[in-house]
Structure 1
């Protein structure tokens, strides 16, 4: 029996918009998702697991070419994809971040995984959404900072 995968997704905030890309992968194909990916086990200086913040910065850079700052944990979801060719149990850790340089533009660095990136108004998101993001929306979650988060 396989273990759940741990993914880190990033709400990259730009005014009242978030960055989304349409997935090309088998799980969630053609759905809109945040930049992100799997948490990795690092071995650079010594055996140490990657932090959520490190994973967020790395994945956003690898997928979009963007540098981010002010990375914060916001929530987590727990979804099972039984309809996939290879079923997947995904625990998604959601982070919030901002552009390090507001003049940066997203690039599609991994075109085999994503059709492209664009900014979408939070109140008018494209459909369909990747299941973990959809799960959060159904629970009334908003990635924008408030007094309580």
Structure 2
């Protein structure tokens, strides 16, 4: 493998998790390398830098993808580079990278990330309170009412 290619892969792997990922689970369409017909998929998680998409097809795909996302009645096409593909039975899992600054430059897509982040953080608080309420853990919300009121 040429040295430049190895360095490129090394740089990609270092940058892959540069942004917090937020779980999502809603249907989208994907076009691979300018397909005429979109393919059904699920958006599994998303960040400012990329996404994880579960595709309901079994061919390997290509090098580029365009995610067709509808959020709050606003449809967007998000271009991405396919970093890697995992095969799962008769489906594929795409690891995607967005061009730098793409999400930040789009109010609709920025709103999607922000809303997913807010829901994720609220769910984390909910899970923490459930753990607080579990008597087997030795602590209940009634013992610490100030904690409950602050959330």
Q: Give me the TM-score of the superposition, normalised by structure 1.
A: 0.31
- Bigger relative contact order, structure 1 or 2 (CA pairs below 8 A, ≥6 apart): 1
Q: Which structure dedicates a bigger proportion of its chain to helix?
A: 2
